[in-house]
Amino acid sequence: MSNQAVFLPPRLWSCNWNWCPETFRDSRDLGKHLQETHYNNILQVKKRDWDAYLRSTEGRSGATASWLPSQTPGNPHSPCRKLVWR
Protein backbone atom coordinates (compact mmCIF):
# COMPACT_ATOMS: atom_id res chain seq x y z
CA MET A 1 0.00 0.00 0.00
CA SER A 2 1.20 3.42 -0.89
CA ASN A 3 0.57 6.50 1.23
CA GLN A 4 0.71 8.81 -1.78
CA ALA A 5 -2.28 11.09 -2.21
CA VAL A 6 -4.15 10.96 -5.49
CA PHE A 7 -5.01 14.38 -6.86
CA LEU A 8 -7.88 14.58 -9.30
CA PRO A 9 -8.24 17.55 -11.63
CA PRO A 10 -11.15 19.84 -10.71
CA ARG A 11 -14.45 19.24 -12.51
CA LEU A 12 -15.17 22.08 -14.93
CA TRP A 13 -18.57 22.86 -16.42
CA SER A 14 -18.54 24.56 -19.82
CA CYS A 15 -21.40 26.62 -21.17
CA ASN A 16 -21.09 26.04 -24.96
CA TRP A 17 -24.27 28.06 -25.67
CA ASN A 18 -23.73 29.69 -29.05
CA TRP A 19 -19.95 29.64 -28.61
CA CYS A 20 -20.09 31.02 -25.05
CA PRO A 21 -16.60 30.64 -23.55
CA GLU A 22 -17.65 30.61 -19.86
CA THR A 23 -16.55 27.75 -17.59
CA PHE A 24 -17.56 27.04 -13.99
CA ARG A 25 -16.32 24.87 -11.13
CA ASP A 26 -19.85 24.19 -9.84
CA SER A 27 -22.86 22.99 -11.84
CA ARG A 28 -25.13 25.37 -9.90
CA ASP A 29 -23.07 28.30 -11.16
CA LEU A 30 -23.49 27.05 -14.72
CA GLY A 31 -27.25 26.77 -14.18
CA LYS A 32 -27.40 30.32 -12.82
CA HIS A 33 -25.32 31.57 -15.76
CA LEU A 34 -27.60 29.83 -18.28
CA GLN A 35 -30.72 31.30 -16.69
CA GLU A 36 -29.42 34.86 -16.32
CA THR A 37 -27.36 35.18 -19.50
CA HIS A 38 -29.02 32.95 -22.06
CA TYR A 39 -32.55 31.81 -21.13
CA ASN A 40 -33.73 35.27 -20.12
CA ASN A 41 -32.49 36.72 -23.41
CA ILE A 42 -34.17 34.29 -25.83
CA LEU A 43 -36.00 36.15 -28.55
CA GLN A 44 -39.62 35.05 -28.77
CA VAL A 45 -40.94 35.15 -32.32
CA LYS A 46 -44.63 34.75 -33.08
CA LYS A 47 -45.48 32.03 -35.57
CA ARG A 48 -46.93 34.53 -38.05
CA ASP A 49 -43.63 36.48 -37.99
CA TRP A 50 -41.33 33.44 -38.33
CA ASP A 51 -40.70 33.82 -42.08
CA ALA A 52 -39.78 37.50 -41.66
CA TYR A 53 -37.47 36.60 -38.77
CA LEU A 54 -35.71 33.95 -40.87
CA ARG A 55 -35.27 36.42 -43.73
CA SER A 56 -33.73 38.95 -41.37
CA THR A 57 -31.28 36.48 -39.82
CA GLU A 58 -30.38 34.60 -43.01
CA GLY A 59 -29.66 37.74 -45.00
CA ARG A 60 -32.61 37.32 -47.33
CA SER A 61 -34.28 40.55 -48.33
CA GLY A 62 -37.95 40.97 -49.02
CA ALA A 63 -37.24 41.62 -52.70
CA THR A 64 -35.48 38.32 -53.34
CA ALA A 65 -37.37 36.23 -50.79
CA SER A 66 -40.07 35.47 -53.35
CA TRP A 67 -37.45 33.80 -55.58
CA LEU A 68 -36.24 31.46 -52.84
CA PRO A 69 -38.38 28.69 -51.34
CA SER A 70 -39.27 29.10 -47.70
CA GLN A 71 -37.61 26.54 -45.43
CA THR A 72 -40.76 25.79 -43.43
CA PRO A 73 -42.41 22.36 -43.30
CA GLY A 74 -45.86 23.86 -44.00
CA ASN A 75 -44.79 25.23 -47.37
CA PRO A 76 -45.56 22.70 -50.16
CA HIS A 77 -42.57 23.98 -52.18
CA SER A 78 -40.13 23.70 -49.29
CA PRO A 79 -37.22 21.26 -49.63
CA CYS A 80 -37.88 20.09 -46.07
CA ARG A 81 -41.57 19.19 -46.55
CA LYS A 82 -42.83 15.82 -45.37
CA LEU A 83 -43.99 13.30 -47.95
CA VAL A 84 -47.12 11.37 -47.12
CA TRP A 85 -47.78 8.19 -49.07
CA ARG A 86 -51.39 7.02 -49.40
Give the domain ranges of the chain. 10-59
b/e string for 47-58 if b means 16 or more Cβ within 10 A? eeeebeeebeee
Torsion, Cα 54 60 64 68, to 10 degrees, reads -60
- Top pLDDT among 76 and 9 is at 9
In angstroms, rounded to a whole number, what is the distance separating the alpha carbons of residues 23 and 35?
15
Is the model's pLDDT at 3 over the cut of 90? no
Q: What pLDDT does residue 82 have?
A: 47
Is the model's pLDDT at 83 over the cut of 50? no
Distance of CA 80 to the CA centre of its chain: 19
